[in-house]
Structure 1
């Protein structure tokens, strides 16, 4: 489900590479001093701070607050702030397709400035959190994550394989 906060939508602000860099840096280290943010991004610390304040004024802080509220809603399984046509993308798990209207009405009451911009219905999940699923949703296998720095050692591969097969770790 793509959602959009009206204040940020009205600002209609395009994020450039530096804006995304500032947001990303603060997601990783929210209390980083501007000197560090500027150093990492290769810009003057004052420039980094000004960009962040401009984003806040444009409504990014509203998106942050909206995401905190959504994160506390039981049906919301995932909530991500995005740089794209929608400010937030949420994954909602409902028991029945008929529950969508009631859920959106609930969101509208809690977050009156929120607009649902798009929705998609998942017909079947084939992989969840690395687990391969059959048509009934039961795990039939696992696709382990690879370390981003390269291949793992043979010992780790053997231990992982034994754990996946139910053997000693």
Structure 2
């Protein structure tokens, strides 16, 4: 688990990482600028940890950010919250 977590933490597009029950027990969410970004992340994981490969890849074309949180250029929260009117 430690190697996987360290590898995932190096990915700038990582939004969430969850250990869940079941045979496929790791779920990660990334924000990428282009669809080929997904393949680049999967390739990096496969190269760093042989034998670890995604069982399923789901692509959401758009995601809505949480209302009120100001994001930086990388799409991460700045910690500043603006209360909606």
Higher strand share: 2
Q: Distance in 2 between matches of 1:165 and 1:94?
A: 27
TM-score by length of 1: 0.36
Shift of 1:98: 2.4
**1:164 pairs with 2:83:** yes
1:88 aligns to what? 26
Shift of 1:121: 0.8
Relative contact order, higher structure (CA 8 A, sep 6+) = 1
TM-score by length of 2: 0.63
- The runs of 5 or more residues in structure 2 that have no matched partner are 69-81
Give a deviation string over 1:60-104, Cα, whole Å, max 9, x none: xxx344123212322322111111241211111221112322321
1:116 aligns to what? 54
Count the aligned residue pairs.
72
- The runs of 5 or more residues in structure 1 that have no matched partner are 1-62, 133-162
Task: Report if aligned partners of 1:75, 1:93 keep a CA contact under 8 Å in 2.
Answer: yes
Q: CA RMSD in A?
A: 2.5
Higher helix share: 1
SS of equivalent to 1:79: strand
Larger Rg: 1
